[in-house]
A and B are shown apart, each in its own frame.
Chain A
């Protein structure tokens, strides 16, 4: 493992001072490869804090361009990047924050066709996307390739976050077997969102990602945190493998 330079020792001083991290932990962060899928409300704090923390390789995936309606919550982007690809807007912000980080842009949506190729190079995948289709694709490929998936999702004043670790179960399909009908659960563009809400959930996702890289503490696995900003209430729900889950049921049979 490459040793830290003196500049890095200064940049990451407050990490290194923590006995749980130290120089060896910081080296682990610099060696880590994380893919952030979605560079919107959730992806902004996730990528921002992972870059600041010195996660060495950050894959950033999004096919959209920055729109003025994004700026109420998507803090990676700014008024002067309106109209450009979110991956490029994000790259500029992240590089400016921390030139140590290697940014790999993926200007595409995650689909069943490209998922394997996109995901396989990374250690941990962060689900910061804004649609069900991508969430199911991500769940299935992370399950198949045995990659930890750090989930976040938001609605109006409510947020959810959890970590899916394939070998421990459960997975996203255990919780939500099928994509919900559009008329019942509306798509992202049709819902109001408190701007700061993804800041809270995305920051928890970044925290869990860093802990997973370092292997420290207790992960938010097998439990989901549900945040209600309107009433400032955090609830935790225990999660279980569903006996009807097409993925986990199969895996259980093998073991």
Chain B
């Protein structure tokens, strides 16, 4: 199945090469969870717990469905 991943701040650099506008379409296994996508993109395990699927907060164990839009928000430090 296919999902869209949006990476905020500079996490976009973990997306597949050639991705534009900080987002990419990914093909994942049916039944994959948020954590599986994070692992696939090599997001460090304790970086963030702030993810949304289709606009709602989810956790790492949430199962994804075809067509979902997953947004990943890392911390930023600027002030």
Contacts and interface: CB of A to CB of B under 8 A. Distances in A.
Interface of A: 38, 40-43, 127-132, 135, 152-156, 158, 160, 174-178, 180-181, 184-188, 191, 193, 198, 224, 226, 237-240, 242
B79 A40 contact: yes
Interface stretch (B28-36, B43-51, B62-70): B43-51
B44 A153 contact: no
B42 to A, nearest CB: 10
B79 A198 contact: yes
A188 B52 contact: no
Which among B56, B57, B73, B79 has the greatest number of chain A C-beta atoms within 10 A?
B79
A181 B11 CA distance: 12
Contact of A130 (B8, B47, B74, B77): B77
B49 A185 contact: no
B44 A181 contact: yes
3 closest A-B pairs by beta carbon, nearest first, are A155-B76, A130-B79, A178-B46
Given A158-B8, A177-B49, A180-B44, A188 B78 contact: yes
A193 B44 contact: no
B78 A193 contact: yes
B76 A135 contact: no
Given A180-B44, A226-B8, A238-B56, A153 B76 contact: yes
A239 to B, nearest CB: 7
Given A155-B9, A239-B57, A242-B49, A176 B75 contact: yes
Contact of B77 (A41, A135, A238, A240): A135
Contacts of B11: 184
Contacts of A177: 46-47, 49
B79 A226 contact: no
Nearest to B52: A237
Contacts of B9: 155-156, 158, 185
Which among B47, B52, B76 has the greatest number of chain A C-beta atoms within 10 A?
B76
Contact of B10 (A42, A135, A186, A242): A186
B77 A226 contact: no
A187 B50 contact: no
B10 A155 contact: yes
Contacts of A188: 77-79
B57 to A, nearest CB: 5
B46 to A, nearest CB: 4
A239 B76 CA distance: 16
A128 B77 CA distance: 10
A41 B79 contact: yes
Contacts of A187: 77
B12 to A, nearest CB: 11
A164 to B, nearest CB: 13
Which among B46, B48, B56, B78 has the greatest number of chain A C-beta atoms within 10 A?
B78
Nearest to B77: A132
A175 B77 contact: no
15 contacts: A40-B79, A41-B78, A130-B77, A152-B79, A153-B77, A158-B8, A174-B49, A180-B75, A184-B11, A184-B44, A184-B74, A237-B57, A238-B56, A240-B59, A242-B49
